[in-house]
Amino acid sequence: MIKSFILALMCLCTFCSFVTPALAQDNLRVTVANLNQDVSLLAQNLKTLRLEIEELHRENARLRSQVAAASSNRDTEAQITNLASAIETLRREYRAADEAQKQQILTEVNRQVGALASESQAAINSIAKAVDSQPQVSAPVHFSDDFPKTGKPYVVRSGDTLSKIARDHGSTIKHIQNANKIVNPSRDLKVGETIFIPIAQ
């Protein structure tokens, strides 16, 4: 733009040497006025250009800040990813250790339960042997003479029981037991044996 201004000025000087001084003065004024306008326009354009350059500097600084922040975010994301991976590894190791400890506890509990079961069974067997080795002592049976002295003899038949015999002959089980000194009616009755049946008159 400045080169164009200088070239226009040289042309003007050359032109002025061929025209009359009055006309040259008028043309010179017009040209100078035009040049003043061009210089003012150039100054305005220069101010606008400076403002745009300053805006570009600010934008560039903002973009650099964003790039730095993005880079920092990537570093943070990488750290978070590494931390999450480490936590997951610790979780797996904890689960494995917990499972191993559970298995150890279960094994020990099973062993102790087995030992306790063996000891209990041995104690039960020992008690059973002690009970079996003790002689069976029957409680003494006392017979009473309080029964009717009247009655009749009876021969025990197959299928007879004291209750049946007492019912058929109008007597009582207790009277028949006392009269014949029968300790165990289910064992002491023998087919063909003669017993006395007390019958009250």
| Cα–Cα distance measured from residue 44 to residue 50, given in angstroms and rounded to the nearest whole number | 10
| Cα–Cα distance measured from residue 110 to residue 150, given in angstroms and rounded to the nearest whole number | 73
DSSP, residue by residue, 157-168: -TT--HHHHHHH
Could you tell me the residue ranges of all domains in the chain? 151-198
DSSP, residue by residue, 74-141: HHHHHHHHHHHHHHHHHHHHHHHHHHHHHHHHHHHHHHHHHHHHHHHHHHHHHHHHHHHHS---PPPP
pLDDT value at residue 138:
59
| Mean pLDDT, residues 58-84 taken together | 83
pLDDT > 70: what percent of the chain? 83
Q: How confident is the model at residue 39 (pLDDT cuts 50, 70, 90)?
A: confident
pLDDT > 90: what percent of the chain? 21
DSSP H or E stretch at residue 198: strand 194-198
Mark 126-136 as b/e (b = at least 16 C-beta within 10 Å): eeeeeeeeeee
Q: How confident is the model at residue 120 (pLDDT cuts 50, 70, 90)?
A: confident
Checking if the pLDDT of 171 tops 90, the result is yes
pLDDT value at residue 139:
64
| Cα–Cα distance measured from residue 76 to residue 88, given in angstroms and rounded to the nearest whole number | 18
Yes or no: domain 151-198 corresponds to CATH 3.40.50.970:
no
Checking if the pLDDT of 148 tops 70, the result is yes
Query: Whole-number mean pLDDT of the chain?
Result: 81
pLDDT value at residue 45:
86
Residue pair 151/117 in contact by the 8 Å Cβ criterion: no
| pTM to 2 decimal places | 0.34
Look at the block and give the residue holding tokens 């029981």: 161
